[in-house]
Structure 1
């Protein structure tokens, strides 16, 4: 029978979020109901609230989550009730042209649950990134559930569901950072700091963190940055070049998603270097670059979708690295909060003094 749970919705553009009763249907074929244990407050959730993703209000917010599979629908075999899982928003189809070419991390037909969660009056909800995990329980496609070791704290594991995976993957999967490379990361929020961690894991010799906030730069150092640049007081491109023998970085990761910081990334890379865009721009943004410079500098300009990750491969691997002490996922958790504190968490996000607020249920 359908269940009634508490969840956080964004009722309209820039309206305060609120806790409402959500109706969760029984899982249908290929679906699963997951009891949420923890969910990070990601900037993408704020984008949904602001109407910057689309206008399909009301949204059931939250997507960076871990929890326990409660029930599954017909045909589900990869997970069973009782499994501890991290939720992902790119459940691969296995049959599209990308999947058939052996590149499932580029899957062009990712899917979500077919049934809709609703309010008590029947109003259909749009779950953020097809998940909607600021709730006691949520309905997802079973392929969005990745089983991992239950010994890891949910508030830590859930971060791999979005921001931390996006940043680490931008460095390792998309940027192909290698041993001895020089790497610059522009924007040191949660995703940028995760890119710093990814570059360190890959063996980068020099990792330059760039931001306008000294507090964020100090955190980036704690995460593994070897050098920092405050671009409010220094020219980021010139500073990166100075720190790399006048050449520029081998890989520059743009974790802001703005034209001006992308342009910095473009000119801060070495000849034949790589730019990785992992920051999410808003729809109205435009980029203008001299085409001759695009040609003359060579190299690669890449966009990183979810860190080009394959959840079934990457989530368990990163959990293993955390358990071995090789990465500290707990360092990303600034505070734990309740469902009723999400609006305050958005305000703290604006103030820039949190990496992640995590809702614990």
Structure 2
């Protein structure tokens, strides 16, 4: 029987979000209803509200979530009511050309729930990243549910559902950071700090945090940065080179996603080094550079999609590290809030006052 619950909706571009009554249908074949326990306030949700993703309003926001499976639909055999799960937006199909090549982390045909959740008047909602988790209960495809240790804190491990996984994966999966490497991370918000945590996990010996905000640089040091550079006080490329005997770092991760920061990343890496773009640019952004610089410097230029993660592989592993005290996910939780405080959380995020606000339900 369909249920009515409270959820956060963006009705039009730029308008403040509202908490509304939403109808959640019973799960159909391959679907699951999850009682949401926590959901991080991610910059992607703000992009949805501002019309920066698409114009399929109204949106049901929220996607960085953990919760407990309440019910499952026909054909679901790997989930059961009571399972503690992190929600993901890469429910691999197993059949597309990426999956058949053995690279499911690039899956080009990921699964979402077929049925819509709706407003009280029957208007269908577009769930953010196919999840929609600023809500008491949400409907997702069963493949979007990854079972993890139920003893873990939902507020902390739910962040693996997007931003923290994107950053850690950018360092480990995409950047291939290894023991003894030097790493620079440009942009020390939630994703950038997660990249710093990932570099530390991988055994990097020098991790340089770059930002224009001294508060964020202090946070980055707490996460694992060994050096900091305030890009507002001079040329960050020169600063990074100065910390690496003039060479630049083995890997530079751009967690901002602007032409100027990408160029900084390109020139701040060592010869044959790797640039990883994990910050999301807008469609109008362009770069113009001498082609000879690409040839003469060699190396690799990569984009990181969701940290090139495979949720079924990476989520349980990272939760285990968290439970062992080797990955401090609690450090990313700046505050816990209610559904009614999401709009204020967007404002705090915009001003750089938090790493993550987390909605608790």
Q: TM-score band, normalised by the shorter chain? A: over 0.9
Task: State the Cα distance separating 1:196 from its structure 2 match.
Answer: 0.2
Q: Is 1:130 paired with 2:130?
A: yes
Which SS does the other structure have where 1:70 is aligned? strand
Matched residues, number: 361
Q: Is 1:165 paired with 2:165?
A: yes
1:103 is matched with 103
Task: State the Cα distance separating 1:182 from its structure 2 match.
Answer: 0.5
- For residues 76-91 of structure 1, the aligned pairs below 5 Å read 76-91=76-91
Q: Deviations over 1:116-142 (max 9, x none)?
A: 111011111000000000000000000
Determine the C-alpha separation between the residues in 2 that align with 1:254 and 1:12: 31
Determine the C-alpha separation between the residues in 1 that align with 2:356 and 2:183: 24
1:198 is matched with 198
Q: Deviations over 1:72-119 (max 9, x none)?
A: 111111111110000000100011111111111011111211111110
- The unaligned stretches of length 5 or more in structure 1 are none
Task: State the Cα distance separating 1:291 from its structure 2 match.
Answer: 1.1
Which SS does the other structure have where 1:232 is aligned? helix
1:296 is matched with 296
1:275 is matched with 275
- Structure 1 segments, 4+ long, off by >4 Å, are none
Determine the C-alpha separation between the residues in 2 that align with 1:248 and 1:261: 15
Q: Is 1:219 paired with 2:247?
A: no
Task: State the Cα distance separating 1:231 from its structure 2 match.
Answer: 0.2
Determine the C-alpha separation between the residues in 2 that align with 1:120 and 1:224: 47
- For residues 235-246 of structure 1, the aligned pairs below 5 Å read 235-246=235-246
The answer as to whether partners of 1:186 and 1:253 remain within 8 angstroms in 2 is yes
- The unaligned stretches of length 5 or more in structure 2 are none
Q: Is 1:49 paired with 2:52?
A: no
Q: Deviations over 1:187-221 (max 9, x none)?
A: 00000000000000000010000000000000000
- TM-score normalised by the chain length of structure 1: 0.99
Determine the C-alpha separation between the residues in 1 that align with 2:152 and 2:360: 14
Determine the C-alpha separation between the residues in 1 that align with 2:136 and 2:238: 49
Q: Is 1:64 paired with 2:64?
A: yes
The answer as to whether partners of 1:7 and 1:136 remain within 8 angstroms in 2 is yes
Q: Deviations over 1:161-183 (max 9, x none)?
A: 00110000000000000111100
Determine the C-alpha separation between the residues in 1 that align with 2:112 and 2:290: 40
Determine the C-alpha separation between the residues in 2 that align with 1:121 and 1:220: 46
The answer as to whether partners of 1:211 and 1:229 remain within 8 angstroms in 2 is yes
Determine the C-alpha separation between the residues in 2 that align with 1:234 and 1:9: 42
Determine the C-alpha separation between the residues in 2 that align with 1:15 and 1:92: 33
Determine the C-alpha separation between the residues in 2 that align with 1:36 and 1:288: 45
The answer as to whether partners of 1:52 and 1:283 remain within 8 angstroms in 2 is no
Task: State the Cα distance separating 1:296 from its structure 2 match.
Answer: 1.1
Determine the C-alpha separation between the residues in 2 that align with 1:51 and 1:205: 41
1:174 is matched with 174
